[in-house]
Amino acid sequence: MPLSSFPDSTSPHTLVVGQSARHSWYEAWVNVAVGFGIGFVSNITVLPLFGMHVQLGANFEISLIFTVISLIRSFALRRLFNRLATR
């Protein structure tokens, strides 16, 4: 039985509806924005503990690259799981 056929807890006759692509995109952006902030601050504090001293501008660029990768990954996985859940 596909996941979309399972009723939610509010009603025995309510079907679970998948998330829209737009909502997935917004959720991915918020998730990644928070991750960017955490990653940026983490790089500033953790890298020097390992003898790596990265300038603030380079740290920003590195964090931005990983943020773009994370955004694409997060959106793609969300859409994949949404597709699997609505079959």
User: What are the tens digits of pLDDT across the range 73-86?
Assistant: 888 888 898 888 88
The confidence score (pLDDT) of residue 48 equals 94
Distance, CA of 2 to CA of 54 (rounded, Å): 49
Residue 1 lies in a domain: no
Note the pLDDT tens digit of each residue in 11-55: 555 555 667 888 877 887 888 789 899 989 999 999 999 999 999
pTM (2 d.p.): 0.59
Residue 29 lies in a domain: yes
Residue 31 lies in a domain: yes
Residue 64 lies in a domain: yes
Residue 68 lies in a domain: yes
Phi-psi region of 35 (alpha: psi -120 to 50; beta: other; left: phi over 0): alpha
Q: How many domains does the chain divide into?
A: 1
Residue 13 lies in a domain: no
Does the pLDDT at position 1 exceed 50?
no
Distance, CA of 47 to CA of 65 (rounded, Å): 17
Residue 8 lies in a domain: no
Identify the domain containing residue 31 by its residue range: 20-85
Residue 76 lies in a domain: yes
